[in-house]
Structures are given as C-alpha cells and as structure tokens.
Structure 1
Amino acid sequence: MRKKLLLPYVLLVVLILSACSGGGFKAEHNFKIEPFEFTNQHNEKVSLDDMKGKVWLAQFVFTVCTSACPPMMSNMADIDKKLIDEGVEDYKIVSFSIDPAFDTPEIMQEYLDMYDVGDQKNWEMLTGYKQEDITNFAAKSFKTPVADIPGSDQVMHAVHFFLVNQKGEAVKTYNGMVDVPFDQIIKDMKALSKEGA
C-alpha cells in the first residue's frame, strides 16, 4: 500500500527534475547583430536577413594572420565536421575578415581551401568593406575589439567564436583558439536549432 502511495510522488519528482534539466539552450548574453551586407568568397552579397532563421557561428580572422587565425580556422573546421556527423542541418559558419583591403573574395576562398572543412557550403567567408566598418561592426554587434597594429600587417582581435541565434542575436561566446569546448558548442547548436526562431 505504501509503495502505491509513493509512486505518484516519485513520478512527480522525476517530471520536475527532467523539466529543470530539459537540455534546452541557455543564453549567456543577448547582443543584437547590426544589419550588414557583405561579400562572400563567391562574390555574392550576404546580409543579416539572409542569415535569419539559421543558427550560426561567427569568428573574426584574416588570411595573413601569423598567430591566432590558423588554429581558429582549424578548430572551426573540426566543429563543422562534428556538426555534420551529428546530423545538424541548416546552420552557417561566418568568418568576417578583419583585413578587408587585402582579403578579396578570391583570397578568402583560397584560405578556406587550406582547411579540411566538413562542407564548404556551410561557410560564408565575408569581406568587401572598409577596415573602419568591420572595427565598428565587431564592437557594436559582438562587443569584441578589432584594431590595426601600427607598423605591421597584423590586426589585433579576440580569439572567440560567437553563437548567433535565428533572430540575429549573439547569445554565447567560446574560446576559439585553446581549450575549445567542442562538445558544448555542438550541444548548444543542436539545442538552439531545436528551439527554433
């Protein structure tokens, strides 16, 4: 008799716990991405409106970078392959050039070709703006610094990957260079994709 009375309470506790740990996505912040229309590696225009309805990962890189960008690109390529292996669809990876004067669409394509990505159709390698534009865009949209280094062909930037939701809001930031939380990124993208816009 006592076991029969306990059963409803046990089931209730299980339901409450499962609701609390429902595996849903939890945002760290909410940065609204400024409207943009840039040029990708295929010389096509890509805008924020084109990205609406998709979950995407953003990064800021440049092709003559001698330090952070090569490992960031390699790590992002690994994420792309893992997403494909996990059956995640309708996502994008967006690499904003922070050296647009040098990084033409053709050079951006050549740079992408250097990395073993899962599927290039998921990538937008963006350029076609002024240095000042991308500096302001990075600061306003992603709260991240981009700055020329005087007397050098290098550009100072953070080494983060930014998760953007279907509404065009940056909602989470990860280290993209070292100790990259690959499993968490995949989990977050899957959860966010399931939640919808």
Structure 2
Amino acid sequence: MNRIWPLLSLVILLALAGCGSSEVNLDEEFSMKLEVEELEGVNQEEQAFSSSEHEGEFWLANFIFTNCDTVCPPMTANMARVQREMKETGVEVPIVSFSIDPENDTPEALKEYGDLYQADYQAWDFVTGYDQETIERFANVSFMVPASKEEGSDQYMHSTSIFLVDKEGFVRESYSGLDVPLEEIMEDLEKITD
C-alpha cells in the first residue's frame, strides 16, 4: 500500500498539470484530418487570394454559388449568423466561401451576393478566379465532398457543410450549413482560440 501512494500522487499531479494547459489536442478534440491543398484565386474585391495565407490561423470554409436556387441562400445566411455571433463574443476566425461556379461568379457578382447577407469583408472572402476543374478537384480532394455541374442545368451539386480548418491547413470538423449548430461551432471556436 505504501508503494501505491507515491505512484497515485504522481498520477494526480500529472492530471492536474494537464488541466492547467491551455493547449488543445486537436487529434483528440476532432475526428477529421484532411489536408487542404493550396488554391489561388481572387476575392470579391478582385484582390489575390491563396488558401495558404491562412496558415497559422483557424478558419471556416464552405462552397457556394450565386445563382444557386436551393441551399446556398440559407447556408450563406447561416454563415452570416456565425460571423455576427463571433463578433459578439470576440472570437476572430476568418471565413472563406469558395464559388463552385467560377465562370459566372465574377468578383462583382460575389460582392453583390455577399452584400445581400451583410458580410463583413474584413473577415470573410468570397473566392473565384480559378477554372471549374480546379475547384471541383479542390472540393473532392481537400474536403472530400462533391462539387460538379448538374447535367442539363445551371445548378451545381455541392456540400452544404461549414468546415473548420486548423492552423496547419487541415480540415478538422464539418458542421451542417443548413441546420447550423451555432452553439457547437462557437464552443469549438472558443476552445481553439483561447
């Protein structure tokens, strides 16, 4: 019994030391780890954009197109809610909405679209300026989600998720962009930005 006490004391000390650490173990917290390839384009202000410019910070991402007549309007409205909530709680995480219709989604079209949702462009980029094949591959490989034009239509099949990307450029979590779990997203963001 006397030999157990020192061992037990050591275990308790290590556990308490772990509780005091503010470093979050992302592999334990999140179930995903998909590497985001570099993607270059332009944003709604016609400024050069590269996904690599977010290296060293967490960011949120989704896929949209301005001519979408089904899921994109509610998804973008929900992303705007997330942005407002972040502002109110003092959490600063950039947002990137990638257009999957680069042929029609010019920077001007994306700016007009973002204005509809009162997007704060200081922390939200709407990105275009690549070709169709590039964005489809980017969505398929980096996020493991579909992105393709629907046959005989001007509509596109794409993910309705909001993705959390970590400082090293790995997708760590996916949330519904339609039935948005605002509380869960905010809890995760507060956890990683503390």
Report the TM-score when normalising by structure 2. Answer: 0.86
CA contact (8 A) 1:74 1:116 kept: no
- The aligned residue for residue 36 of structure 1 is 39
Identity of aligned residues (%): 38
| Aligned match for 1:45, one of 43, 48, 59 | 48
Query: Cα distance, 1:23 vs. partner?
Result: 9.8
User: How far apart are the structure 1 equivalents of 2:148 and 2:52?
Assistant: 27
CA contact (8 A) 1:139 1:145 kept: yes
Query: Cα distance, 1:47 vs. partner?
Result: 1.0
- The aligned residue for residue 178 of structure 2 is 177
Query: Cα distance, 1:138 vs. partner?
Result: 0.3
- The aligned residue for residue 3 of structure 2 is none
Pairs within 5 Å for 1:115-194? 115-117=117-119, 119-178=120-179, 180-194=180-194
CA contact (8 A) 1:36 1:47 kept: yes
- The aligned residue for residue 99 of structure 2 is 97
User: How far apart are the structure 2 equivalents of 1:175 and 1:19?
Assistant: 31
Q: In structure 1, list runs of 5 or more residues that go unmatched.
A: 1-8
Is the partner of 1:120 in helix, strand or coil?
coil
After superposition, the CA RMSD in angstroms is 2.3
User: How far apart are the structure 2 equivalents of 1:69 and 1:45?
Assistant: 24
Q: In structure 2, list runs of 5 or more residues that go unmatched.
A: 1-8
Query: Cα distance, 1:35 vs. partner?
Result: 1.2
Mapped pair 1:56 → 2:59: yes
Residue type matched to 1:187 in 2? Answer: E
Residue type matched to 2:64 in 1? Answer: V
Structure 1's 153 and 75: CA in aligned 2 closer, same or farther, altered over 3 A? same
- The aligned residue for residue 5 of structure 2 is none
Following TM superposition, where does structure 1 have runs of at least 4 consecutive aligned residues deviating by more than 6 angstroms? Answer: none
Mapped pair 1:78 → 2:81: yes
Residue type matched to 1:109 in 2? Answer: K
Residue type matched to 2:156 in 1? Answer: V
CA contact (8 A) 2:165 2:173 kept: yes
Query: Cα distance, 1:29 vs. partner?
Result: 0.8
Q: State the Cα deviation string for residues 153-194 of structure 1 (Å, max 9, x = none).
A: 10011210100011111000011112x110111111122223
Report the TM-score when normalising by structure 1. Answer: 0.84
Alignment size in residue pairs: 181
Query: Cα distance, 1:132 vs. partner?
Result: 1.0
User: How far apart are the structure 1 equivalents of 2:40 and 2:118?
Assistant: 27
Is the partner of 2:94 in helix, strand or coil?
strand
Residue type matched to 2:127 in 1? Answer: L
CA contact (8 A) 1:38 1:45 kept: yes
